[in-house]
Structure 1
């Protein structure tokens, strides 16, 4: 249990003992960009996963509520065996090691995995009870708070000086104009981090029942385009053009031509929004949290953002960014 305070380690030990797993072997997993951490518990042939979600930084209740809801919709999520909500601990099912990322790195067929991920989204987005959960909307306030990370963190790191109030206002106004329609969209449960790191195969590769979901506790109600663009415009890996088009085509089956065109526009809007957010977050992780490992993905993020910004609906946003940080896509960190 390295990497945590002595007090937190004592709380963990107490929780495990209370759940009857005090004698288990504990193997911490590599931490991600959040404050949550996980450890694999092994006791003979039995396995569990310990989730450590410090209450000061993480919302365990949100995870539990969204988990229960997704399970009720027939989607594959980890079972929950024990919870200490006040202290931020949960004992959940160990669904194994077969994340899509690991499978892809091992040579698994890219197209089949991505199409399975699209099928999971389609099941979620077409379920008549998908929105029967009390969650905040992915509204203008949330969308703008995220793109603000770009001017607060990325721009200063890129050019060596903070943005002026006038620059920031022009940037935020441009985004508000571009996102006006989509900020009112409430047609999907948005999982928000839907990409290959957070998808896994549990059991044999088959239908959507075999696709395990991870990291969805920050879900909101918003646009169905968000998780689709998160999947196919991944900050952490290149997705081939063939797979990208196959995924959008698969998702678009049954949609009218008008809705297909709207989907692609919304993917550009939310793709640009997400990439701007991620660029800011990766700089913040490096400078504030001493996690520079994510900077290796920055060229991809900026390339994806620049591509999305080519859409005419984002011309004002593009112009403000080009004025603040001309040539930003070539930045090296």
Structure 2
């Protein structure tokens, strides 16, 4: 038994879940791990988020309480040890959108409609005041991860030009409209809870990195999914649904949607390359072609006219040869 496991068992021993069995659940790209805790017919989920590895459970608690207060289906907090980095949370089950849609493709549109309605409900509320802002300068810096890690560019002037043009584009089309954005709002983090009603039918996960940002951000995250193909017609319907039900100006929203899509996909290209090169997680390279296709689609929108030429010049296409080279350097780093 590792020291961390011993601490987790000690945490559980001080709750009504003492003596429960534990089984590992799939993790994510962070340093957190998750265990399903079972005692009799009851289950819960243990989040293990060690502070010494840069994790902090407090944002999860804050955002979960905010979402629950709005009638949305975040996991309820059952027990906590903030200093040790342990949370015992409600088990919302295993029916992730990404798993249930292949089994029941006939309900795909219903799931995406429900997920869009969550955002409509969420955006009616004022975001918690202490949330950091995902402002245009920060977004431009995050987009530059594509230069730093994906392209491997070491050109200070190019990086400055890249950040400047992205900052201007974001400021023109994406300023204001600050709501709570979950930032990883996609099919791997959404659970189908058909026994609940309305927007509560969607279980919410992995929202601890939430910030204040533009109303289009999470819909981009949902519809320009890095891990699965969302049919173009379905995506169009969900954008139209959000715009019509919130009274947004369609042209302005569409421009913001594609600019934020470009920013998000640039960041993801950089993050996926970094997960390979720095952290040895080569499988993220396999997702890059889909992210690239989303980026190319966004660059074609008129709102990206100033930034698109520089982005296209600066970033190499993710050909098979390029991806194999990335993976070879990932493997090399792991053996050093």
TM-score, with length taken from structure 1: 0.91
1:289 aligns with 2:285: no
**Given the alignment, which residue of 263, 274, 277 partners 2:264?**
274
* Cα gap change, 1:328 to 1:313, in 2 (>3 Å): farther
In structure 1, the residue corresponding to 2:297 is in which secondary structure?
helix
In structure 1, the residue corresponding to 2:284 is in which secondary structure?
helix
Task: Report the number of matched residues.
Answer: 321
* Displacement after TM superposition at 1:243 (Å): 0.6
Question: Which residue number corresponds to residue 117 of structure 1?
Answer: 115
Question: How do 1:65-214 residues align onto structure 2 when only pairs under 5 Å count?
Answer: 65-108=62-105, 109-127=107-125, 130-156=126-152, 162-182=153-173, 184-204=175-195, 206-214=197-205
Separation of aligned partners in 1, 2:43 and 2:319:
45
In structure 2, the residue corresponding to 1:48 is in which secondary structure?
strand
In structure 2, the residue corresponding to 1:42 is in which secondary structure?
strand
Separation of aligned partners in 2, 1:116 and 1:279:
28
**Given the alignment, which residue of 305, 310, 315 partners 2:295?**
305
The runs of 5 or more residues in structure 2 that have no matched partner are 325-336
In the alignment, is the contact (CA less than 8 A) between 1:139 and 1:222 conserved in 2?
Answer: yes
In the alignment, is the contact (CA less than 8 A) between 1:100 and 1:200 conserved in 2?
Answer: yes
Deviates most, 176-185 or 90-99: 176-185
**Given the alignment, which residue of 4, 7, 14 partners 1:11?**
7
* Cα gap change, 1:209 to 1:288, in 2 (>3 Å): same
* Displacement after TM superposition at 1:321 (Å): 2.3
* Cα gap change, 1:199 to 1:326, in 2 (>3 Å): closer
1:247 aligns with 2:243: no
* Cα gap change, 1:134 to 1:231, in 2 (>3 Å): same
Separation of aligned partners in 2, 1:23 and 1:216:
29
* Displacement after TM superposition at 1:107 (Å): 2.3
* Displacement after TM superposition at 1:329 (Å): 6.9
In structure 2, the residue corresponding to 1:282 is in which secondary structure?
helix
TM-score, with length taken from structure 2: 0.90
* Displacement after TM superposition at 1:20 (Å): 4.2
In the alignment, is the contact (CA less than 8 A) between 1:69 and 1:133 conserved in 2?
Answer: no
* Displacement after TM superposition at 1:328 (Å): 5.0
Separation of aligned partners in 1, 2:296 and 2:62:
36
* Displacement after TM superposition at 1:255 (Å): 5.1
* Displacement after TM superposition at 1:209 (Å): 1.7
In structure 2, the residue corresponding to 1:236 is in which secondary structure?
coil
Question: Which residue number corresponds to residue 329 of structure 2?
Answer: none
* Cα gap change, 1:320 to 1:248, in 2 (>3 Å): same
* Cα gap change, 1:30 to 1:132, in 2 (>3 Å): closer
Separation of aligned partners in 2, 1:325 and 1:181:
23
Separation of aligned partners in 2, 1:136 and 1:291:
29
* Displacement after TM superposition at 1:296 (Å): 1.4
Separation of aligned partners in 2, 1:35 and 1:227:
23
Separation of aligned partners in 1, 2:315 and 2:184:
27
* Displacement after TM superposition at 1:254 (Å): 4.1
1:233 aligns with 2:224: yes
In structure 2, the residue corresponding to 1:230 is in which secondary structure?
helix
* Displacement after TM superposition at 1:163 (Å): 2.7
Separation of aligned partners in 2, 1:137 and 1:328:
32
Separation of aligned partners in 1, 2:67 and 2:315:
41
* Displacement after TM superposition at 1:182 (Å): 4.7
What CA deviation, in whole Å up to 9, does each residue of 1:253-290 have, x standing for no partner?
1455x711111100001000000000111111111111
Separation of aligned partners in 2, 1:278 and 1:91:
30
* Displacement after TM superposition at 1:178 (Å): 0.9
CA RMSD of the aligned region, Å?
A: 1.9
* Displacement after TM superposition at 1:134 (Å): 1.9
The runs of 5 or more residues in structure 1 that have no matched partner are 157-161
In the alignment, is the contact (CA less than 8 A) between 1:303 and 1:329 conserved in 2?
Answer: no
